[in-house]
Structure 1
Amino acid sequence: MGSFGNGPAGDRTGPFGGVAAVDKGVDFANYFCTYAFLYHQKEMLSDRVRMDAYYNAIFENKHHFLGKTVLDVGTGSGILAIWSAQAGARKVYAVEATKMSEHARALVKANNLQDVIEVIEGSMEDVSLPEKVDVIISEWMGYFLLRESMFDSVICARDCWLKPTGVMYPSHARMWMAPVRSGLADQKSNDYEGAMDDWHCFLEDTRNCYGVDMSILTKPFAEEQKKWYLQTSLWNNLHPNQVIGTPATVKEIDCLTATVNDIAELRSNFSSVIKCNTRLCGFSGWFDVHFRGRMEDPAQKEIELTTAPSVDNGTHWGQQVFLLNPAIPVYEGDDVDVSFAMTRSKDNHRLMEVELDGRVKQPSGNLFQPFRKTFFVE
């Protein structure tokens, strides 16, 4: 999730970051196939926060598009390419890795923009354009910003095809984290305990009915269920009141200069002050992106797209919630100090692993209830 189309995949070795090669067939099966369906495009196109941000960014900053060449990375239905053309672009190259390109091409023609927009089916890493472009536009953001690794393809496009004076839409991004309270922590713990109770009943039935002792599998089953219920981050649209501490920025990205290595492994230390007496049930992560242009060619009106819990009705991205088990009692004025690390999964480069290592500190300086946990963003 998290794109107007999908970020083209390819071999991520070489000048774009030096990370491991990706099997294109496996990558397509795991990721791209989802974006080839109109129902998924409709879900994203129905996100008004998302749509309004991109629409306003383009039409409030027409000077970046008027008479310019534009590259839309992962065009999906083609909506960003169409808006770019409507804002006055001379030429728009709309790159799409799936058969959604056929729908995009039909939509472009239905809006009489086929003389301006050229839809190209293929991976961004494999596409060759006849010219450099003035603008690269893309909605590359996944859950907690970097899940899906689509920004890799945007970086590739930028390094290959953006003019030295070109602009990126969006131009900047930030990742945030904050402590939260949530009944999900208790629910997931209960779900895990229920799964283990069911397993033990299964062992007894199998032994009594079929004469086979399967208890040797209890440990791997418990590890499997623990990962699913207690270590996998959750999608949620949180209410602002569930945020119990000051939010902190854990990563800032300049889309004009960031490299794949900059985002492949993130490490940050942050602190948060607890605002009330409650339980620390975990942490929430979200992001915002900004359309600022570049220093030499700024936006006439800067637009922000945020997925924070404060957004009315939320977005399709929601927030990623990382639950602690058990929850920790906290009090107004406590400091929560956290060491945050996020790396790409070894099994699937589009998924992430997050490690939180922290402690709660009382105003008196006393320490209590340290915590450390690894999570999977899947």
Structure 2
Amino acid sequence: MGSSSNAAAPINNVDKGVDYANYFCTYAFLYHQKEMLSDRVRMDSYYNAIFQNKHHFAGKAVLDVGTGSGILALWSAQAGARKVYAVEATKMAEHARKLVKTNGFEHVVEVIEGSMEDITLPEKVDVIISEWMGYFLLRESMFDSVICARDRWLNPDGVMYPSHARMWVAPIRSGLVDQKKIDYDRAMDDWSHFVNETKTFYGVDMGSLTKPFTDEQRKYYLQTSLWNNLHPNQVIGKPAVIKEIDCLTSSVNDLLSLQANISSIITAENTRFCGFGGWFDVHFRGRKENPAKNEIELTTAPSEDLGTHWGQQVFLFYPSTRVSQGDNMTMNFSMNRSKENHRLLEVEFDCELRQSSGKSLPSFSKKFYIE
């Protein structure tokens, strides 16, 4: 995931210095860039999207938002771009300049160090390319900066790479649900022991802090989503799209709060519902007036083959519920940006399960944090 700045700063009143310390600084390290550059699904998708659609790049002006190491800018130049503006908010820009020079494209690629919201280009561009996707697509809120770039610098007939995105959820089974509950119980047992010892040996009763400690541990162990590489056989119900994004027309306001009402039929026999898995895919389609010759998809869905560094987000429900093939699960899904940190997300599921026999089970709901 490349790095840029926050286009929604006026909405969230974000301090740039704090935002840099919490977010951008990570992308200034080569080890982090290497992790992304080693993701074959990510790399192959962007490579194929560019080189199988050279007509979008040949002789054109390109803007790479959050260029990172500069790889997308270099590929754009190799595909025949007339000019590439590679914008990077961190000192990684220095490494990108070195790569551009050693690969012989300093006459085409101009690396600009600065936030997307603050820099000025000498011209409008024909293509905006960016790898802006965070965990569960929208964590990090980097798409805000892509929207800012689009609204300021994209020609009216320009194209976005990627052009579309979708968010998915599906019911899953996972042994992690039991392990996280065990970890939570151990943390609470340890706290109880700590309170008793502190009072016995030091004469101070820490019991008044039990509730805030409990809330803290519950959030950490039971309400924070997990990064995981799910196997397809852990998906026990039909996946459903909760959000579709057209990168050419979506606004920041469209993404501040998401709501969806969906249903999923359980496809596995006699298993446990342990929660939901969430993932995304993006597509390189060009635009209606100027379509891609070869549409490319990048998916982070559970796979038996190569996973991605994004993996999937797992939202665990405890206790788990026994389900059977043919049961119908309906769900109200909501996702909002965290009030404390606009790059993090808060997710809530309200679910009802109707068994194939027609019997309805008690509804259940849970709030999660993507941190």
For residues 350 and 257 of structure 1, the distance between their equivalents in structure 2, rounded to whole angstroms, comes to 21
1:132 is aligned with what amino acid? K
State the partner residue of 1:123: 115
Identity %: 72
Could you tell me how far 1:11 is from its partner in structure 2? 5.6
2:149 is aligned with what amino acid? A
Q: Any conservation in 1 of the 2:6–2:141 contact (CA below 8 Å)?
A: no
1:285 is aligned with what amino acid? G
- Mapped pair 1:141 → 2:133: yes
Could you tell me how far 1:313 is from its partner in structure 2? 2.7
State the partner residue of 2:56: 64
State the partner residue of 1:150: 142
For residues 367 and 103 of structure 1, the distance between their equivalents in structure 2, rounded to whole angstroms, comes to 59
Could you tell me how far 1:237 is from its partner in structure 2? 0.2
How does 1:196-345 map onto structure 2 within 5 Å? 196-275=188-267, 276-310=269-303, 312-345=305-338
Structure 2 segments unaligned to the other structure (5+ residues): none
State the partner residue of 1:185: 177
SS of the residue 1:369 aligns to: coil
SS of the residue 1:199 aligns to: helix
SS of the residue 1:341 aligns to: strand
How does 1:9-158 map onto structure 2 within 5 Å? 9=6, 12-13=9-10, 19-158=11-150
State the partner residue of 1:8: 5
Residue among 349, 352, 357 paired with 1:359? 352
Q: Any conservation in 2 of the 1:272–1:335 contact (CA below 8 Å)?
A: yes
- Mapped pair 1:350 → 2:347: no
Shifted more, 21-30 versus 84-93: the winner is: 21-30
Could you tell me how far 1:369 is from its partner in structure 2? 3.1
Q: How high is the TM-score relative to the length of structure 2?
A: 0.99
For residues 223 and 88 of structure 1, the distance between their equivalents in structure 2, rounded to whole angstroms, comes to 56
Q: Any conservation in 1 of the 2:336–2:346 contact (CA below 8 Å)?
A: yes
Could you tell me how far 1:9 is from its partner in structure 2? 3.1
Cα pair distance change 1:251/1:11, threshold 3 Å: closer
Q: Any conservation in 2 of the 1:11–1:125 contact (CA below 8 Å)?
A: no
State the partner residue of 1:16: none
Q: Any conservation in 1 of the 2:64–2:72 contact (CA below 8 Å)?
A: yes
For residues 59 and 231 of structure 2, the distance between their equivalents in structure 1, rounded to whole angstroms, comes to 43
Number of aligned pairs? 370
Q: Any conservation in 1 of the 2:300–2:307 contact (CA below 8 Å)?
A: yes
SS of the residue 1:130 aligns to: coil
Q: How high is the TM-score relative to the length of structure 1?
A: 0.97
Residue among 151, 154, 166 paired with 1:174? 166
For residues 175 and 311 of structure 1, the distance between their equivalents in structure 2, rounded to whole angstroms, comes to 20
Residue among 186, 196, 203 paired with 1:194? 186
For residues 321 and 25 of structure 1, the distance between their equivalents in structure 2, rounded to whole angstroms, comes to 31
For residues 259 and 123 of structure 1, the distance between their equivalents in structure 2, rounded to whole angstroms, comes to 19
Could you give the per-residue CA deviations for residues 86-116 of structure 1, whole angstroms, max 9, x where no partner exists? 0000000000000000000000000010000
Could you tell me how far 1:310 is from its partner in structure 2? 2.1
Q: Any conservation in 1 of the 2:67–2:88 contact (CA below 8 Å)?
A: yes
Cα pair distance change 1:10/1:263, threshold 3 Å: closer
For residues 188 and 180 of structure 1, the distance between their equivalents in structure 2, rounded to whole angstroms, comes to 16
Could you give the per-residue CA deviations for residues 182-207 of structure 1, whole angstroms, max 9, x where no partner exists? 00000000000000000011011111
Could you give the per-residue CA deviations for residues 257-302 of structure 1, whole angstroms, max 9, x where no partner exists? 0000111110001111111211100000000000000000000000
2:80 is aligned with what amino acid? G
Structure 1 runs of 4+ off > 4 angstroms?
none
> RMSD in angstroms over aligned alpha carbons?
0.8
Structure 1 segments unaligned to the other structure (5+ residues): 14-18
Residue among 356, 364, 374 paired with 2:367? 374
For residues 357 and 285 of structure 1, the distance between their equivalents in structure 2, rounded to whole angstroms, comes to 15
Cα pair distance change 1:60/1:296, threshold 3 Å: same
Could you tell me how far 1:371 is from its partner in structure 2? 1.0
Could you tell me how far 1:324 is from its partner in structure 2? 0.2
Q: Any conservation in 2 of the 1:10–1:123 contact (CA below 8 Å)?
A: no
2:357 is aligned with what amino acid? S
1:9 is aligned with what amino acid? N
SS of the residue 1:22 aligns to: coil
SS of the residue 2:362 aligns to: strand
